[in-house]
Each structure stands twice: as structure tokens, then as C-alpha cells.
Amino acid sequence: DAGVIQSPRHEVTEMGQEVTLRCKPISGHDYLFWYRQTMMRGLELLIYFNNNVPIDDSGMPEDRFSAKMPNASFSTLKIQPSEPRDSAVYFCASSRDRGHTEAFFGQGTRLTVV
Amino acid sequence: DAKTTQPNSMESNEEEPVHLPCNHSTISGTDYIHWYRQLPSQGPEYVIHGLTSNVNNRMASLAIAEDRKSSTLILHRATLRDAAVYYCILRVDTGGFKTIFGAGTRLFVKA
């Protein structure tokens, strides 16, 4: 397996534009996580899915952020409209469904909103 | 949510052992202790995990206190490539096993 695949690796956009980040989890993994990392706040859990169903979105900053998982092999994180303070590295991770299994992270998407 | 506490940074000499401590005094009985590390410009990667007993793998060892309120990640011989941020986290059973990261310990390795 190629691991967790995120696209794009880098995204530069203007304030007010819509941004869509994409993630392909490892096949067979039941859990998918979206994280955001900044220097100020470190790694923050935004939302996670179990079997394509959102379980906890309490980390999503505000209504401008939304995430979907239409099937087991694809998830998106959308920001509309984007703001400069959304600039961060966004990571997607996946794991099997037990606490004693490891989570695998993608390489991340570095988002810059100007 | 159960929380972990780690030193902000530690320093080690190359080829020497490193002991990275973590406190998790509010851990519950079903929480697994996981360690991840993040190399520069990469996503976090799994290092090791355990529940009650000490664990060894090819990367490191994990020593868990008898009361489970603390643990120590042991790198037996630090190399320059081990310079990274090390995260001690609890895999929390909230009905979904979400993983929450703390601030981590930045490990500096001197040649």
C-alpha cells in the first residue's frame, strides 16, 4: 500500500477563495482523522470519521470548515471562504478501529492564504 | 480528555541512550499509551505503544509505570536522525478511539 495520500502538497490561495484538501486513507482502515498544525497551536484534531461517518467534529474551528467522507477511500476538507489565519499544514491520518493500533499519517498539505 | 505532560525539549549526545518522560496521571484503564515522532517537514510517524507492560521494538522501548500514570520512551542509542519532536499520547476510548496530541518534546542530538 502507498500509505495515506494527500493532495495537493502545497496550496496558495487568496483570501475569500474556496479551498479543498483531499485524502486517500489506507485500504481497510476504518478511522480517518484530519489534523491542523501551526507553530502557535501545535497539532489539533479537527474531525474524525469511523466507517465514513463523522464521529466528532468538535475541533472544527467554525462553520467555514467542512469535511466529508463519501466512501471508504476518499475524504475532503473544505474551507469556504478561506482566511489568512487558516494558513497551516493539514494532515490526514487513518487507522484500524482499535486503540492498540497505530495511526498512519500522510505527508500533509501546506496551505497558505494570502 | 485525558492529558499528557512532557518536557518542552531535551538534549542528547549521539550514540548515548535517551529517556523521554511523559506524565499521564488522569489515564483510565482502557487507554493505550502511544508514542509518535515528527521529523522536520514530515507527518508524525508511529514509534511504539503499550497498555500495561513494557514493550520493545526495533525503534525503541517503552517503560510504563506500575500505576500507569507515567511512561518513558527509551532510545537506546540516539543518532542524528532521531532529532525530532516526540509526542506521548493516549489513545482514548470515547466510543471512537480518537487520538489527541499534546505539545511534545523536541529532542536535540549533538554529534
> Strand pairing of B9-13 and B105-110?
parallel
Give the separation between CA B42 and CA A91, rounded to whole angstroms.
10
Asked if residue B74 lies in contact with residue B17, where contact means CB atoms within 8 angstroms, the answer is yes
pLDDT at site B97: 62
Residue B21, strand partner residues = B72
Q: With CB atoms and an 8 Å threshold, state whether B98 touches A55.
A: yes
pLDDT at site B111: 92
pLDDT at site A96: 87
pLDDT at site A1: 67
Q: Per the structure block, which three cell numbers stand in for A65?
A: 470548515
pLDDT at site A101: 77
Please name the residues in contact with A63: beta carbons below 8 A apart, sequence gap of 6 or more.
none
pLDDT at site B96: 58
Cis-peptide, bond into residue A54, ω within 30° of zero: no
Instruction: Give the CA radius of gyration of chain A.
Output: 13
Give the separation between CA B33 and CA A78, rounded to whole angstroms.
32
Asked if residue A21 lies in contact with residue A9, where contact means CB atoms within 8 angstroms, the answer is no
Handedness of CA A44, A61, A41, B39 (dihedral sign): positive
pLDDT at site A2: 81
Asked if residue B78 lies in contact with residue B15, where contact means CB atoms within 8 angstroms, the answer is yes
C-alpha distance from A42 to closest chain B C-alpha (Å) = 6
Chain B: which residues have CB within 8 Å of chain A?
A: 30-32, 34, 36, 42-46, 49, 51, 87, 91-104
Using 70 as the pLDDT threshold, list the residues of chain B that sit under it.
1-2, 93-98
Q: Which of A9, A21, A5 is nearest to A86 (CA)?
A: A21
Of B97, B99, B102, the CB nearest to A98: B97
pLDDT at site B69: 95
- φ, ψ (nearest 5 deg) of residue A88: -175, 175
Q: Which of A95, A112, A58, A18 is nearest to B32 (CA)?
A: A95
Q: Which of B84, B94, B46, B51 is nearest to A26 (CA)?
A: B46
Please name the residues in contact with A101: beta carbons below 8 A apart, sequence gap of 6 or more.
A95
Chain A residues with CB inside 8 Å of B51's CB? 100
pLDDT at site A100: 65
Using 70 as the pLDDT threshold, list the residues of chain A that sit under it.
1, 97-100
